[in-house]
Amino acid sequence: MTTGLIPGEQPPDPRPTSGVPHQRHEPVGHGALHVENRSRSSVITARAAASFEPVGRSVATARSFVRDTLQGWGFADIVDDAVVLTSELVTNAVVHAGTSADVLCLRSDEGVRIEVADRYPEREIPLQGPAVTMGSLDREGGRGLQLCAALAARWGVEYAPTHKQVWFQLELPERAVGTRAAGPSLPADLLPLADSRVRVAVVQIDRSGAITSWNEDAEELFGYAADLVIGKPLTDLAAWPHTPGTGTGIAEALQLSRWEGSYGIRGANGRVTSVYASHLRVRDTGGEPSTVCLLVRDHERAVLQTPLRVPAGDTTTSSDGQSTDPFEVFIGSPAPDDLDGLLQRTVERARDMLDGDSAFLLLATDDETELEVRASTGLPSARQRFARVPVEAGPGRYGSARMPAVHDDLTAVPGAVPLLSGTGMRSVVTVPLKVEGRLTGSLGVAAEAPGRYSNEEALRLQFAADRIALAVESARLGELERLRRGSLSFLVEASDLLAGTLDRDQTLALMAQMTVPTLATWCAVYTIADQASEPYLSYVLHEDEELIDGIKSLLSKVLPPDPVPTPGARVWTAPGEAAHQAALRSSMRSLGLSGGPTHQIASGIGPTLATASAVGGETVVLPLVARNRVIGMLTLGKPTDEHFRQEILELAEDLSRRAALALDNARLYSERTAISQSLQRSLLPPELPEIDGVEVEVIYRAAGEGNEVGGDFYDVFPISDGAYGFAIGDVCGTGPNAAAVTGLARHALRLLAREGLSGPAVLERLNSAILDEGARSRFLTLLYGELWPQEDGSARLKVVCAGHPLPLRLRQDGTVEPAAEPQPLLGVMEDLELYEQTVTLDPGDVLLCVTDGVTERREGTRMLGDDGLADVLTTCTGLTAGAVAARIMRAVERFASDAPSDDMAILAMRVPGLHTD
């Protein structure tokens, strides 16, 4: 291990001065002191040192220091590796260890040695034993040493009581100093083919695209004399290739600051000559722009073509003899399903490689029309994540993400890179990520200073993008597959939940609970009653329940979104704008700037700063369309500066279609249920009359879910002064058809009884009315009677029992007996001979009338029957009418465990005894 310091000299002062790294540069002659632990043939010719304080910004400053130092020494070929290694080691010191870092650069005739020291020494050093594993590339810890092992010619670590020092040495390539690019010596038969004289056509194009200069080589290559083409547009001669998916043409290419590529020129003989061109946009002393085009035959492109920068050696060999991808070492080796980790490491390494202040990576949507921000560093990521920008930013400038681009100064071209608007970045280089010719993403690096990047950096970044594009696309497809599987499961579960209810309010609650927080931070559901109604805010949900009331208040002050039936999500800016204004007003009130003291603020639920922040992000609206009608809108929102990813919006669109149908079904069910209930209630008597001297109680149960009225019915009504009619009947069957006959019978009884007809006459008229219904007629059993309370406390009754279960009379002594005789039922024969029977109820007596749903209650082969009913009634002596009816119903329900399958009606009338009055 070596100290990295020249003997006899003091170590560099680690203390920073005013936040600026302390630097020292010393040229050292050939007589410099010899360093024993370094290579014996190494002679130090120059040195530079700097110290950096423990803040995150120091990492970028250290990269700039090393880059400027090595470029000043003429070692541009090893700058990239030196910057990457220095960035990792300084990060470990100032970020992870939290100490200052000292960087020392030493130049020798063999290369460059860089030493990085920190003030957090590691004391536990394995002196002997098996080789120590430095860790996995997946871990942040230890990667700096792994990079040293992968990139440096030699490296080492020195531990001291007060500091730890890591050094590495990079050797210079074996070629002349100052050479930008060089190739190997090749046999003559492998050299590019060219004519005996290579001709380079020089063509200059003015601002309008017209040719202003045409040299002799251009005349030879294309056959046009200068006076024939000067003043004509180059587009008249150029045969531009039509590349699918690329919007850049010859006119646009001539407006670019730099361009290099192939196209054709139509010669004077009518043939197209394939040329390789290099364009450079310049301006004269008067500020007039023009483009200089250098053209050679396409097979002679080596004359102009910028050679691709390929790192020395594509692979390295690990200690176990296996080949290692250097770019994998560069970004680490994240798990195959860790797309976010892969993207984040890529942008961080790209930023370090080009010594940028920020970097970003965007992935293309499936239709390749938009790019979605997935990773960034040095930018407000919370604001940018999942933001979308168009692939083609528009004609007239280099605005396509499908090709590399270098912008020297973004202030000169506002909006050229929308992602960087308002970030303070001035220069930027972007390159596409492509797999098999298809655009899959875009990688960019930006700096705060203008003019930082050139085509050379674009080539280096493109090389990195090409190496990582396939891995990114593979990880993206894996993530997309997992998301789609999860989406399918989510939609299946959502469909089951929505199909499990027909209640409108519950459907609204389910819609909101399924979207929050799975798809959005908050949501609001607007409903539309009919086409003439305005959208109504029906439900609001936020993952933080304390913010729900505030969001309701905020949305109530905003006009609802337009009910547009166009499918898909559309951005709704009104809540965000309202949130911004609310936050501004809240801040001004808190500072007492709203005019008047702050205690005069109106009370109540208002949009607080927290509420404004909750709805201040991206808000989208999806229409709820069912049966070709917009029945509402589903609004999804994110908190401040957050965006929705495209896959989430597609999932939300699928959910909105299912939710719309479920909501409309619930609406139709609610409407029909309300209509049914209203009609059914009209078939039942509104209320029982108060009869002096007689207690009356009724219990009614209709069979079937949602039915309030079935085939059984009852009625108690006044006929004339002192006389009351009562009836209990059973129409054959259950449900709406039986209920229709029920309504006919009940209303006909009242009408005929009040006409003064006797009981038999009333039933005979009703029988005729039922038969007149024809195919809709139903059999009807009916017990009809008339009641007159007597002055002595008894009650006199006249009863007609037409096919109905006989009424039972309970005396005070507990005996039970039928109170009438059976007669033919109604709705069968036209000519009926009915008669009425007179019954007197003494004080304490009870008359019990039931339908066959009570007596025919079954449990297996057992049936309650008339005898079972009589047995229960004998236990009701002394009970009120209400208690008698309740005990009978309780006995019927307990007789069998199954739900009743038939309608049931119980009518109990009791004459109170003298001792209870």
Strands (E), 284-418: 289-297, 316-317, 323-324, 358-364, 370-377, 388-390, 405-407
In 3-state terms, the chain is what percent helix, strand and coil (to 5)? Answer: 35, 25, 40
Q: Which helix (H) or strand (E) holds 749?
A: helix 735-754
| pLDDT interval class at 6 (50, 70, 90) | very low
Alpha-carbon span 527 to 503, nearest angstrom: 15
pLDDT (average), residues 294-318: 66
909: pLDDT strictly greater than 50: yes
Q: How far is CA 107 from CA 32, 48, 113, 172, 344, in A?
A: 12, 9, 7, 11, 34
Torsion of CA 30, 34, 38, 39, to 10 degrees: 60
Tens of pLDDT, residues 785-816:
999 999 888 999 999 999 999 999 999 899 99
Place of tokens 């010619």: 153
Q: What is the 3-state secondary structure (H, E, C) of 643-692?
A: CCCHHHHHHHHHHHHHHHHHHHHHHHHHHHHHHHHHHHHHHCCCCCCCEC
Q: Read off the amino acid at residue 839.
A: V
How many residues would you count in the chain? 917
156: nearest Cα among 309, 320, 343, 4: 4
Torsion of CA 795, 801, 804, 809, to 10 degrees: 30
Identify whether the C-beta of residue 702 lies closer than 8 Å to the C-beta of residue 712: yes
318: pLDDT strictly greater than 50: no
pLDDT (average), residues 548-552: 84
Tens of pLDDT, residues 289-301:
999 999 998 888 8
Q: What angle do CA 801, 804, 807 make, to 5 degrees?
A: 65
Tens of pLDDT, residues 429-459:
999 988 887 888 899 999 988 888 888 888 8
Other C-beta atoms lying within 10 Å of the C-beta of residue 414: 8
Alpha-carbon span 892 to 872, nearest angstrom: 10
Rounded to 5 degrees, what are φ and ψ at 353?
Answer: -65, -40
70: nearest Cα among 32, 112, 109: 112
| Beta bridge partner(s), residue 427 | 447
pLDDT (average), residues 853-872: 89
What token pair was written down for 808? 């039972």
| pLDDT interval class at 707 (50, 70, 90) | low
Model confidence, pTM: 0.46
In the predicted model, what is the mean pLDDT of the chain?
Answer: 78
Q: What is the 3-state secondary structure (H, E, C) of 154-184?
A: EEEEEECCCCEEEEEEEECCCCCCCCCCCCC
Alpha-carbon span 207 to 255, nearest angstrom: 8
What token pair was written down for 662? 């479920």
User: How crowded is the C-beta side of 875, counted as CA atoms within 13 Å?
Assistant: 11
In this predicted structure, what is the pLDDT of residue 704?
64
Tens of pLDDT, residues 606-637:
446 677 667 777 888 988 888 888 888 898 88
Identify whether the C-beta of residue 420 lies closer than 8 Å to the C-beta of residue 384: no
The alpha carbon of residue 516 and the mean position of all alpha carbons in its chain are separated, in whole angstroms, by: 10
Q: Which range is most confident: 117-126, 707-716, 855-864?
A: 855-864
Residues sharing a CB contact under 8 Å with residue 879, sequence separation 6 or more, in sequence order: 846, 887
362: nearest Cα among 387, 338, 335: 387
